[in-house]
Structure 1
Amino acid sequence: MPRLPGAALRRRPARRARAALAQARAVPDAERERGADRAADLAASSCPTSARRSRSCDVSWRRRAGSATRSKVSEVSLHPFRHLYVHIPFCKHKCGYCDFNAYAGMDRLMPDYVDALERELGFARERYTFQELETVYLGGGTPSLLPPHLIARLLGFIRRELNVATDAEVTLEANPASTDEARIEAWMKGGVNRLSLGVQGFDPRALAVLERKTDAAQATRAFRLARAMGMANISVDLIYAVPYQDMAAWIETLRRAIALGPDHVSTYCLSFEEGTLLHRRRAEGRVPEVDSDLQWDQLDAACVELEAAGFRRYEVSNWSRPGFESRHNQAYWRCRPVYGAGAGAHSYATDGTGAWRWWNVARPREYIAATPSPRADGEELEPRKAVAESLMLGLRTADGMTAPAGFDAELSRLVRAGLVERRSGRIVPTRRGLDLHNQIALAVL
């Protein structure tokens, strides 16, 4: 229900969440929940879809669902790729919360890495069919760290060799600290028409906890510079539930982000991933736990502030003005084939019946040495698993999806729990379902 910005939050979503779980009779044990989280992460690049067929390939995969035996896929006729993800793993500094495949202190590898990307993409072009690419996404790491001449070269190669559609969405992730006039000019000349700016916050204390090496002034300056130079589609990333960040600081962060005039906002709940510096500091008692009610209240505040500013929550963590939804991310949620290039990048493919995903060697030096064929491993998805993952991803979006056959019992439980509802043959998440999407994942995977 709409309310005035800054008004007291009346709902207590943490208690509401527990009630929903009890109603669904699906309170998970810790190991099962961790398994669902891992499955959800993997599923981000693996969903069945239908499209025109492409060239054949002969590959062998490990079947992870069910037995651990290898299944031979001979002469699979894969659907073409229309979406490309390119991973740029370089960072000036790896933030304490980051568990992405990112590396600091390897800038000298950048020229060799771009060479390797071109080798991989050239090899992939010969092996698979790339129809007109509808989206290209350069993620990281920090893609904005690439010098202008290297990013211009890489973007030029992709456009020449992979047939990018004239109206394609081409996104580049940028850190405010490495967003300058020369780089923006190179990005835009190379075809970048959407900038994803990693602001993360404006509150100095929260930025210090996150170990961000940028500040509010840099973020504001980077955004305004990109807009002034003609970047018409800019997304801003924010993180909430940060230790020491109270409600007032979070609302101020939201309002400062909105005041910039972005077209898209992503709000991510901070997670303490094992192996990160922040996880270790919390285990040592150097970083406090975040109150669960405060975490949910901050999510509620994001809903109120962003909706009041004209944004629509079209996915669990993503908000946009009309027409500015991330087309590349929608390809994942709608289970379209995506080719992932670069160190640690994941790909997903289908032939209309079966589904496969694979991933590349993760470390940059090993990736460079392994190109043009840097694949590390892959898996074939059993049919029910593929449909389950497509259902899980489809229910991340506010529009939901057509209810698939074979999941009536699971969906009925979710309806009773108030997490989803049926609308004209579609199954869509409720507001509660968007807030508690992990419970949807547990129910269907």
Structure 2
Amino acid sequence: MERLTVRTKLGFGVADLGGNLFFTAMGFWALNYLTDTVGLPAALAGLAIMVGKAWDAVTDPLMGYISDRTRTRIGRRRPYILFGAVPLFLACWLFFTAPLIDGTAALTVWAIATLCLLNTAYTVVNIPYGSLTPELTKDYHERTSLNGYRFGFAVFGTILGAALVLPLVEAVGDRRMGFSVVGLVFGLVMAVTAIITGVSVRERAASTERPEGFFRTYGVVFKNRPYLFVLFTYMLHLSAISFLSGILVYYMKYVHNDEGLTTLAMVALLLVAMVCIPISVFVSRRIGKKRTYQLAFSFLVIGCMAIFLGGHIIGPGFTIGMMVIAGIGVGFAYVPPFAMLPDAIEVEAKNTGRRREGAYYGVWTFVAKLGQSGATALMGFILAAARYVPDVAQTESSILAIRLLVGPIPSIVLIAAIVLVQFYPIDEKAYEIAMADITEVVESPENQI
């Protein structure tokens, strides 16, 4: 068994602390920041977020292609992680500094432009970072352990993001200036953690084989069936999480009439998630990565539907309790996709003799962002259709829309994910056969519906 040192695992994992500050800021707060602080109508705020992510259709695959073909003294991925850190810091600060401009059209253009800039800066750092995973170890279980460290940092970063936003905004006293401070602090943390990873890890020697063309590279990526199953499962996973996290502040503010409960609910969910990550690694060794992933989705469905059915009747204590149940699902869902992904990449590399990690992670990150932004945009459109108006008592239709977005809508998405991931064919036995030069990946009984 190939073992990595704890130092390597810690050095690799710490960058995801900053990365999940980004996902927290965008998933939990971007829509609310644009509607309630910048002053955009909900539909246009959702549209701006969706356009910003659509831009990633260009930048994510391109960054993966570029990093695969980069050859430097310090490796293929590390230059982008190190030198992309400062632009990422500046772009985050810029987005969360609300502009002093008037007019809905001008604000919409500003939102789209700054989101495209921020997403590009994140892509330059995150695609090479994610592409490091299969290069650090080829061992089936060691990848699960490596990603356990990574997502321990990830949950810690998300907890910081969830716990610090409102206190920072309130400490400043002015909501617009407060969000600017949030952008400054979060951007600085992202930059520092990326630099720490960049100087801590060492890449394997890159292959000297002649690079493939762009379209041939991605043609192979989209023919990798195991990869596609876990890819689109992860897209559904992030879509559901984006519905829950993005609507939570609206639910607390307008259903329970206490926006401050948002921080408590987020922290409760994420503290439980942090505790559950190492447990999920143990469970994964017992029942498999795929079954662990499906179990995570089941906990999330229970939590979301319970909030929909009883939260508005029983009260905020019940809602926070159900966020704890959802937190079990969030914790169990952190590691499996990022342990399954490099297995699918490694099997393809074994069969073809070529490594395309950057291309795979470019598509992975784009599709993940597509799921997140699609959910956020749909939230904006649904709120607009329900006649949502910020900072006033909501109508029955807007309250119902908020409840649907916290319960049935993410639950339907999660059930679809449970079904889709069932078709992922690589378990431990299949992986060992593939690595032993047997080119046909066989399915175990676990993969039978």
Higher helix share: 2
TM-score over 0.5 (shorter chain): no
TM-score norm. by structure 2 comes to 0.23
Give the alignment's TM-score, normalised by structure 1: 0.23
1 or 2, which has the higher strand percentage? 1
